[in-house]
């Protein structure tokens, strides 16, 4: 049996929605999906930063649309999908990357602080997936961005973040079973370890070198492209028999 290996990893002429696309990993997702052949709709609360991400997509020869979006608002998620369909006629892939974090000790964290994290990380992922699934055709894919902190701890007070990311693992399984047979939509998640992001910029060198890095079996942070290309694989025909799974991309951190 012979087949076009490159074609199995291609997203040529697909339309991908990337949330949290104003900085960091969201930019890497958008640009890497464009390199794989996809047009990209970029979304984030900070709409003033989306232009640069859209330009990065266009520099790869693909079309881009920037839609300012607060994923904690269901009406914003629906407006995002409506804009994508109006511009491109379809949505084939969702990368549910929008997220926020807090580092407040559990005895001092207020209900408002806890809810603000869950509203974005869990509720926002659900509202966006829900809106996308309504228009997705069979063969489409949803990729939720969870975290290694769904499986382990990292020495910081991150109850809201860890709880919301663990909940995404369960959400991924449930949506996969709801939408697999009935709609032909695959739903998976990635659980990144230590990647450079706005959240990790607040980490002190003492924490990174003394607490975090000794637990990483590969002895280095991950490169954004290593996570983004894994997401491309999950969205591509090469992963066509993979659904309901959460893939740890953490350099071995969760194994220690």
pLDDT of residue 152: 93
CA distances from 38 to 90, 124, 232, 252 (A): 12, 23, 10, 30
Q: Is 255's pLDDT higher than 50? A: yes
pLDDT tens for each residue of 200-216: 777 778 777 877 788 99
Question: pTM here?
Answer: 0.94
Q: Nearest CA to 195 among 173, 216, 170, 174?
A: 216
Q: Is 2's pLDDT higher than 60? A: no
pLDDT tens for each residue of 132-169: 999 999 999 999 999 999 999 888 889 999 999 999 99
pLDDT of residue 3: 64
Output phi, psi for 242, to 5 deg. -115, 120
- Side-chain half-sphere CA neighbours of 183 within 13 A: 20
Can you tell me the mean pLDDT for 39-63?
96
Q: Does the annotation mark 151 as catalytic? A: no
pLDDT tens for each residue of 71-93: 999 999 999 999 999 999 999 99
Alpha helices, H only, 89-216: 111-118, 125-133, 159-183, 205-207
Can you tell me the mean pLDDT for 115-121?
98
| Window from 24-33, 195-204, 222-231 with minimum mean pLDDT | 195-204
Instruction: Parse the chain into domains and list their residue ranges.
Output: 5-247
Q: In this structure, how many other beta carbons lie within 10 angstroms of the beta carbon of residue 194?
A: 20
Fold category of 5-247 in CATH: Rossmann fold (3.40.50)
Can you tell me the mean pLDDT for 15-28?
96
Of the candidates 151, 161, 207, 241, the residue annotated as catalytic is 161
pLDDT tens for each residue of 162-196: 999 999 999 999 999 999 999 999 999 999 999 87
């Amino acid at each position: 049996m012979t087949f076009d290996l490159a074609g199995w990893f291609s997203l040529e002429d697909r339309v991908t929605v990337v949330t949290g696309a104003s900085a960091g990993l969201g930019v890497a997702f958008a640009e890497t999906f464009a390199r794989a052949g996809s047009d990209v709709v970029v979304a984030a609360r900070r709409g003033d930063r989306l232009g640069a991400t859209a330009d990065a997509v266009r520099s790869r020869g693909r079309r881009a649309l920037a839609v300012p979006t607060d994923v904690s608002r269901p009406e914003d998620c629906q407006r995002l999908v409506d804009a994508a369909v109006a511009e491109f006629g379809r949505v084939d892939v969702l990368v549910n990357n929008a997220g926020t974090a807090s580092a407040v000790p559990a005895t001092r964290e207020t209900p408002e602080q806890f809810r603000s994290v869950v509203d974005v990380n869990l509720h926002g992922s659900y509202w966006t997936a829900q809106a996308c699934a309504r228009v997705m055709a069979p063969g489409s894919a949803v990729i939720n961005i969870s975290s290694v902190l769904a499986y382990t701890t990292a020495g910081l007070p991150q109850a809201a973040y860890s709880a919301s990311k663990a909940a995404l693992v369960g959400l991924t399984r449930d949506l996969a079973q709801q939408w697999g047979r009935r709609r032909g939509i695959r739903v998976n998640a990635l659980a990144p370890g230590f990647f450079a992001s706005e959240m990790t910029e607040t980490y002190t060198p003492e924490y990174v070198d003394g607490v975090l890095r000794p637990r990483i079996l590969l002895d280095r942070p991950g490169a954004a492209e290593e996570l983004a290309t894994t997401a491309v694989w999950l969205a591509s025909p090469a992963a066509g028999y993979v659904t309901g799974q959460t893939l740890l991309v953490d350099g071995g951190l969760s194994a220690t």
